[in-house]
Amino acid sequence: MKTSPILNNELLKELGVLDWGYTEESIPRSLPNFEKWTEGSQHLPLNYLNDYRKDLRRDLRLVFPEFQSALVFLFSYQEAKKWLLDEKEHSVAAYTLGFEGEDYHRALKKRLTKISESIELSGLQFFHTIDAQPVLERDLAYRAGLGWFGKNSMLINQKEGSYFIIASLLLNQKLPIKESKLDVDHCGQCTACADACPTVAINPETRTLEASKCISTFTIEIFKEAEAPEGFDKSRGEVFGCDICQDVCPWNRKPLARVIGQLKIKESFSYLKTWLFEWPKEKLEAFIQNESNRSFKKKLFGTPFDRPGKEGWLKNLKTKINSNQNDP
């Protein structure tokens, strides 16, 4: 990880930052690709990507009018991924457990605040952006020299792979930091991600996803009973999110080899380990069935898992069980 007198490197390591970059470019370089993708309805059913916020993504100054520069950070969830690979099933995406079980939006906002408070520059103002804001985060990280767009559309960092969440500080001043060169494509002829996707959601030529075919979309973003995308029965039975395209990516091998897979979960979220890895899926389904939606979401509040609600979780669990029954 690079160093700068402006940033506290020890603090960044403590907060799980794998790498960071700096850019003064406000306009996304991949904007035409994003607009073509949404105009072709490849984003559906994620309607929020094409609503009134779409225009805000065209320029960071529309989100933060005082914008002069950005510090972009890659926050690791490699430890959770290694633990899942070494110890458990692949039934949940690793990011869900990568921040001590806490919703990464909440966890990373706190970490960005700590970073901003450590920067001692007079008159500096900050705007926190994690993926809830109308910002093309992967493009922002690309402009900051932190990687390239993989064929699965993920940002891939040459040293750290792709098991990270991007979070940034938009600033009202330019900093005495040299901008890094843009990274070039390092995927070459590899199509491992697209070949491994059981629902054929990845277009390796355009480096985009068809969201309606994506297992993560189905298990996280669809909150009611729905038919699984074609090919789901050939998956690993994911019940929340999906890491298949990342798990087969050659650029994730070396980073994971360096990691000791120790999973840290906040005491208030310790029940997640029991629910997800100790209870049989039938027991979890029966438990959720007897909960009201309000009570269920209250139990999961503060974690990533409350998003689909009771009906969404029952849909996911039933789909997994049926998929296993249909396996030859």
Give catalytic residue positions: 131
Nearest-10 Cα torsion for 295, 296, 299, 303: -140
The CA radius of gyration of the chain, in Å to the nearest whole number, is 20
Residue 24, class by beta-carbon neighbours within 10 Å (0-12 exposed, 13-18 middle, 19+ buried)? Answer: middle
Contact of 163 with 16, CB cutoff 8 Å: no
Strands in 17-23's sheet, in edge-to-edge order, are: 17-23, 69-76, 164-171, 126-129
Q: Which residues pair with 171 in a beta bridge?
A: 69, 126
Distance of CA 141 to the CA centre of its chain: 13
- Residue 144 burial class via C-beta count within 10 angstroms: exposed 0-12, middle 13-18, buried 19 and up: buried
